Structure 1
Amino acid sequence: MSERAGVQFYRKEIELTGAVRLGLDLLFLCTVFFQARGALLGEIFPFGPAAVVAVAGRRPRLLWPAVAIATTGAWFGNPGTIYTSAFLYLLLGVIFSIYPVLRKAGVLTQGTVAPAAVILVKGLSLTFSQPSFYGWVQIIFEALLSWGLSCAFLHAAVTSRHEERYLGVGLFLLGVLLGFQGLHLFDLSLQGTISRYIILLAALAGGPGAGAAAGAAVGFLPSLAQIVPPALAGLLAFAGLIAGSLKTMGKVGVVGGFLLAHLLLANYFLGQDNVLTALKEGVVVALALMMTPSTLINNIERYFAPPAIVPAGSSGYGRHEALKTALKGMARSLKFTGFAESPEVTVRQVAGATCRGCPAGKVCWELEGMQMLTLLQDLLQKGDHGTLTSADIPEWLASRCGRTRELLAALTHEAVKLKGLAAENALADWLANTFDTLASLITTGVEEGEAEEQRLKLVVGTATIPRYQADVCGDTFMSAKLEAEKQLLVLADGMGAGREAAEMSATTVELVRDLLAAGFPPDKTLQALNMILLLRATREAFTTCDVALINCCTGAAEFYKLGACPTFILRDGTVKTCGSPSLPAGILEEIRIEPVYEELQEGDLLVMVSDGVLEAHREINEKEKWLVKALQRAGEGRPQEIADRLLKQARALANGRPRDDMAIIVARIERIGV
């Protein structure tokens, strides 16, 4: 069961002008050129077909330019087989042009086109030239690799799981780097230079672990292209480790650590003849890193550093402390009106980047997580009015934290960047101060009572995707434990799309979680949420809210909806919908809340979706029917697999161009111990 108490964090929205989009298309086609040129052991070329299939499936308007570019890359990579390669890429282009339905098919179906074309074209070529057992083994091996790479590339473009996205992007970069094999500029190897630049970026963004991992990965590249000793991997891994260890000193520290490690070990690993060349490459990439914009490095750093996760039901986090946190959260929501991001989202990102690798991190974020979260949000609010100093750090944290300077600098930077607008509504300002005062008057108490025996658990899967040509998903979801026996699922959809919608929905799920954890009844929680959204909005803004509360002792479930889609329950092949008509939060002062009660059983599948999923079907009468049919075919699959499959089908119904953000929560009720 997922016990994440955090929200689905989002990335900054990127405004894509026509010129920027054209530049990205050209850059992507350049990568196809090097993919087609890249070879394993000098004679296996699986990356080119996989890249063309990925273009056909995800960016079909670039299909024929990609075919031409891949053919050119094959000619530069292996001129002896240019006719076979050209016919192979031409066949792939013709197949996807004649059968456009393939563009809407699943990843496995699309990926199978690559190995089929490789076996057909290269098999016929081998049959008419010099048939041999080794030749057929080579063709089959190349076909299998092209199939795996095609699936990885296609899946990385739509998956909501970071691990799968990292794998796909990593394999894609591997093919690009292999395409630079043998290319030189002023006696410098382009492959070696670019590889070292990637190591420095990883070390600066992710620290010693990321630097060492990047060094080990790119160090094995030459041994993939030809049979050579992989000794370079050890050198680059050590250099990345040393460079990442000096991350706190910025670019100068990372570059200095990398060059120092290079100088110490290059003579031992590479020999005297290659030391000078390796150091030249190191100097070139050092200069390139110094000229790299800080914006790019910050984005990569956030990509490497996921936010700290704090369990909502942590031991010792009692009802009184939860109530205090909820009041402070409501106060912050009103005081931070106009900020570009939710304060909780911001401090989690700061903590993820600053506290990574700290020996005291386990104590701070696992034992005192809620206390840390509250303190950092208070410091962020204080930083909005001036620079933070060491005097702002309480003694209990200053006594063990060795990174207070970096932490204060990061919070001050975020506070200035997310400069808040003063609350225009005097009532909102008064309520914020009142909530703060009430929170300060509450002392932590000891709760008594014997908890019931928990016999059920929830296994949760989630999937999300922004609308077409948007980089920020406006839908936010959460799965969290409120008490020993209560499980919360909440899904919010902010008005519109982009950063403002994401900020509004993130605030919604945070407030719902805090108020319910503090003991507020669900109806009072949603009424308070509605009023706070009305007060904090500087213009018309609203959000839907879909709440499910499941008692894991009895199976009793409560559903509360504010403008949200129905909830779907699959049991023994039959799908039941649960919903109630209501308006979103933040529109009217008085809202009607009508809960729906259900008794869940072991094996039931619970599905919550945002309206972008249902509206993927253009027919009004089919909006719910298609999802019901899809669930009936789901069978006994894992919740994460079902969530990914539903999202993939919704995206296909929208012709690969979702008109609205999409988010899905799938939860299966299981018996504990099974």
Structure 2
Amino acid sequence: MGKVDQSIIEPVQNVDIEHTRVELSKGIRSIYSKLEWLFVEKGVALFVIGFLLGRALILSHLTPFALPFFASVYIIRREKSPIALMGLLAGALTLSIPSISYTFVSAVLFLLTYRLSQKYHKNNVRVVAFYVFFTVMAAKLGFDYIQQGQALTIYNGVMAVIEASLAFLLTYIFIQSVPLVTVQRRRKSLKTEEVVSLIILLASIMTGTIGWSVYNLSVEHVLSRYLVLLFSFIAGATVGSTVGVVTGLVFSLANVSSFYQMSLLAFSGLLGGLMKEGKKFGAAIGLLIATLLMGMYGDTDTVITKTLYESGVAILLLFLTPQSLTSKIARHIPGTAEYQQDQQGYMRRVRDVTANRVTQFSSVFQALSNSFQQIEDRFEEEEDKEFDYFLSNVTEKTCQTCFKKDQCWARNFDKTYNLMKEVMTEYDQGRVPLSPRLAREVEKHCTREKKLKDTIYQELTFYQANLKLKKQVQESRKLVADQLLGVSEVMGNFAKEIQRERENHHIQEEQILASIGEFGIEIENIEIYNLEQGNVDIDMTMPYCGGHGQGEKLIAPMLSDILGENIVVQKEECAQFPNGQCHVTFQSAKKFVVDTGASHAAKGGGLVSGDSYSMIELGRGKYAVAISDGMGNGERAHYESNETLRLLKKILESGIEEQVAIKSINSILSLRTNDEIFSTLDLAMIDLQNASSRFLKIGSTPSFIKRGDKILKVEASNLPMGMLQQDFDVDVVSEQLKAGDLLIMMSDGAFEGPKHVENYDLWMKRKIKELETDDPQEVADILMEEVIRSSSGLIEDDMTIVVSKIKHNIPKWSSIPMQKSKTKDKIS
């Protein structure tokens, strides 16, 4: 026999193992679903809980758990209340005959009083605790009177008040916790009050096991320690110690001899939660340590041995608990990793739904834009059709009654058609009378040549008016299409930003904390949202710094060295009191900054100028400089120019592209009023990352760039804004700026101010070249003074000069060199 190839056997074995694992997982899920159906849907869990609560005692003879549990089930799931009552009666029967009688009578008395007075109250949940209080009070005093056969004592009254008060409180607790164990499809997250209520319910249930033992091991001790172990392993030290304290407190009330158990459970919950990073082994070690320490309070070694055995059984139950069950419980408890994952999944679903909805709206605007664009493409066909209508009207008034109609239109259609078209074309061009050649041809071809020429001349006015109207409609449609397309792009980009999830940077956060901690700077919390080069975004929370600028002077330079780029403080919120916290946001600094200076003067030295200017820093790392010159002078011109810049700022901040923004403003200004009030716009968009710039000039004068001894001229030819009846195309001029460049923009009043100058360009270039300063404000003031002085001190028009200087962004504080380590490359 030859050897079998192992490479063939191993894949087959792996497939069989995987198939077995899948089948086993399906079988476990099937069993789990059947058990859940049996216990939750069929009410077996209510019967078991009722049985244990029915025999649970407080102070050896008080039973405050039975009626609150029955009332809660009756209010929440009325159809399951008989099952809960049967469980309570069965548990009370294990105590004594008077106990089952007391439980039955209290339940019946509660039902009678509640049903008889139900029509007088609306909020069942709020008033049910009061019914429970008075029912327990009456039932307790009645049974004490019957059992004693004599007058009641003060002791009986006090004990009745205590039991009724406990029942009152337990009713509110059970109303919050019963739905957690009876309703199968409940909400995922639990409030802190609900978690505590659930713990109290579980501890109350376990008091029903007091007195039970297996192999001389106390069942209540094993179950209570298992409960503490389970919650400390799932939720950590806070919840684990809380479970221990609450469970131990309930046990100590049920049995005074179990008071020391509260210390053991609380201490084990604390240690187990602190050691939860070691998984189940860590939680188990925490319980063993607490058991050894607290077991030393016993009188003999037997007590320690028994306690260790009980803790060992609880640890065994923890290891037998399936991972699926612990994960399912963890998803309901705030603060756990599973809970955070569920919350993140929910937020991710909400984000995806929102992004999809925004994308759908973007598609709608895209479709509307395409629809308007298709209408625009059919304009030429409509123009030809309009010419056919024109000829129809002419022939109806001239050729319809002519005896040569058939000869002209049936036999010589092309010649007649072209001849009439030539006549219309010459009239349209203003040739009245017609050219001699065309006049002879018309006279030779048509017997009614005078009437034909007069009719064409008259109908031409209506034809031109219709064409002009349709052209305006076509331009409006094109403008609407561009605006819809711009909105579609903005919404599409917004949808992409929504879908950008915060990346997981836990490792980098720890590395940055460790690096900064080496300098003795305390950081309480750090959140990294982005580490992309040029787009870093980090939030930090630190103790009160006393307003000394610790973030700007120390942490930002450290981050600059760690991340390998210039980091600055974008936002800082310092506490107003010494024990508060400071919240600082660090972001990447822009590679370039823009310093601006402006100088302006109104016509005749007035106070109100028709020019307006604005410097706008946009959130996408762009800087906009704009000048608008309203038509004329005075308040009306100032209003028009200022309104243009206001609209421009709002639209640019929304993210719409510059050309679409300007066309939108043009349509708004032109449709807002019937007056022929226009305004110019000179816009420069500067990218602060690479200093590239885009110039959009609408009816404005040239701009100049001073780069050392060179003077560059930037110009474009566009009509002023507000002229909707004309074709409105925005010419964009791109220029690459450099550090040290001066960008000089001005209105027509400043550019054309010197009246004795024949060539404004050469004169302005010479004045700019002669400048001996590069300060933007000084340059603006000097140029304004030169223009006014060259005009003999007269200001004949509104003048505005805006100067921008491009500079490298030099950090205020140099980077602090950190220790070179292997982790630095990972962070950067």
TM-score interval, normalised by the smaller of the two chains: 0.3 to 0.5
TM score, norm. by length of structure 1: 0.45
